[in-house]
Amino acid sequence: MNKVADALPGLGIVAAVLGIVITMNFLSEGPERIGLSVAAALVGTFLGIFMGYGFVGPLSIAMEHSARYELKAYDCIKSSIVATLSGQAPQMAIEFGRKALPTDKRPGFQELNDHVRSK
């Protein structure tokens, strides 16, 4: 998505150039026809830039953040499994997994301990 967002402004510039080339065919038809053709070229430019920087670019960033957040959960699971396989006690393995979570989403030690003991 990020590469598409980067390419869209260039596509808008291509639309402008092609619109002006097409406009050259209408030079003998009067200012009304030329104005419509130039306007169409400018709309193509606007759409390319707007879609690249105003829609697809922010969407790709949001998707990237979502994927990173989901990967943190897998890192937590991986850390716990690796700690368990290396011979750590279950509570220590859980602590290794807890430390892999982002600090704003990480449960407190006592909160996690109480939750595990209740299960």
Domain ranges of the chain: 2-118
The answer to whether residues 90 and 80 touch, using CB atoms and an 8 Å cutoff, is no
**pLDDT number for residue 79:** 93
Write out the H or E segment, with its range, that includes residue 10: helix 2-24
Length of the chain: 119
Phi, psi (deg, nearest 5) at residue 50: -65, -45
Write down the mean pLDDT value for the chain. 89
Written as six digits, the tokens of 100 are 């892999």
The answer to whether the pTM exceeds 0.85 is: no
Residues 6+ apart with CB under 8 A from 5: 52, 53, 56, 57, 59, 60
**pLDDT number for residue 13:** 92
pLDDT digit string, tens, across residues 44-98 = 999 999 999 999 999 999 999 888 888 888 999 999 999 999 999 988 898 898 8
pLDDT at 42 over 80: yes
